[in-house]
Structure 1
């Protein structure tokens, strides 16, 4: 399934980020603690260079804490990366970011110039709410739907730190198909960009395997079904998602599941682990190799032409005839 949502302002924002990154002292990337890999913009990683990076795992209160700790260790294995967890219900913890920025940029803090920090993050990751906490006043517009911030702005946080806010940016090409579903399941893209049913089935399949006890208890099931379809049907009956004639309303139960996942009603859930990433990168590499091989074969077929044995024979005879004519002409000129 392809994600068809990359508004024009995101193209502009990504270009502006690339142009401004060499003017900042530190990059702050806000990630969704439930999907640190899928919410990490690969375009930013390509252009970051040696700029120190503070990765904030926001919405920590919604994520599985044990898995989040594993993600922090995984992310900090990359050179120049520091991590911290935050959530909107603990503003005092979020303000520790200021101290961390000053520690990372200790050399710059000793000078008379302000520390310039650029903050980035995908839509609906909680970046604007975090900025308002840091500024201790309403600076950035917030909202429950993605892509509220549309343009860059400079915010003086005081104490020698200037924050360069950027719009929430996705990227035009999603390499990992699993990440597309996770972004949608977490609410990072608008509901109109993808089919609820597709995302709901993906989320149900993952959740009954990763959090079986949670799903059985939350939906009050006597036993947990083995497949996502059977689970959704059982959950629909428990929640009254039934259409005329007694048929299960799969669209409705998928909507219920995703809303309860995104709001935290299911509990602290993480949708990916570092170990899953390793396997998926292997699968992506294999898929990319196959795609390249298929492309090479198509190119070769195009070069040779779609010839039946009879057409191929006639083509070879025409080629031989032209070569013979060419030899006679060269011989005549001598």
Structure 2
């Protein structure tokens, strides 16, 4: 009987230590905004597109919502959280008007290759050259974290696009992925998650493989509240699909909603005891788009035929980020540096030709 009691004490102590260790460890929220151009991030609404009735149903309304005389005013109107808070308290890279550049290294320049590069730190044009639902042969930083001692079973992913279970290789990695039109993956869904399940099922579907971001966002936010992941990945998708549809008005409105989603996540982790003062938020995009200058339709597209589609951006905010604001130096960065940055923050072993981004605190 004494032996059983001693074993029980040891087990309880072990789990108590693990819980304290997890509470004190660094947390990361990784966010991608599919196909959001650097032009809108740094300049707000584009004068070439906002009045083009081919892409905008009501130019007067869109101008009232998003137009201003200066780039600074326009970008703050479109993305108020990113520019009024994140830029002032974190780091933003990729303003090519200031010769600060971020580029992809893969030559495919569309979604699956972009997400592979973001999450693995390596382009793989030989094997990742389509958007087909094939399990990623490469190991993502999410998988490395999930198989580590410190972050095992503390990694979750949420995406609007239904290919993410394959990009992350849910089967091999063990990382739970709620993507596409998946319902809540929680063992004991909250009342809000049960309600999300219901209204997601009842909501009309605009795209067959991509749900509206409001569902992705709220499932992820509920996970933060109830499951407390240490590494959370949220992949918003609407901006890319509205752009492909040629709806510049909806593309801008979606970007504004996403900014509000980011603020909601940040506001939560800023007060929640599990995340407060322990969390870093990292943001990027999987690819750029055409500029829409000579061919106005090129803003809708990306891929190897669009020269500007490899142009991306980075944003960092939170515990491990130096508050260096918008970078205006003539510098070149690459998407392959994103995963090494995550690895450095989480103190994980990671092999990459490119080191982490120079935005981290010493």
TM above 0.5, yes or no, is no
- Which structure has the larger Rg over C-alpha atoms? 1
**TM-score for both structures, normalised by structure 2:** 0.23
- Flag the structure with higher helix content: 1
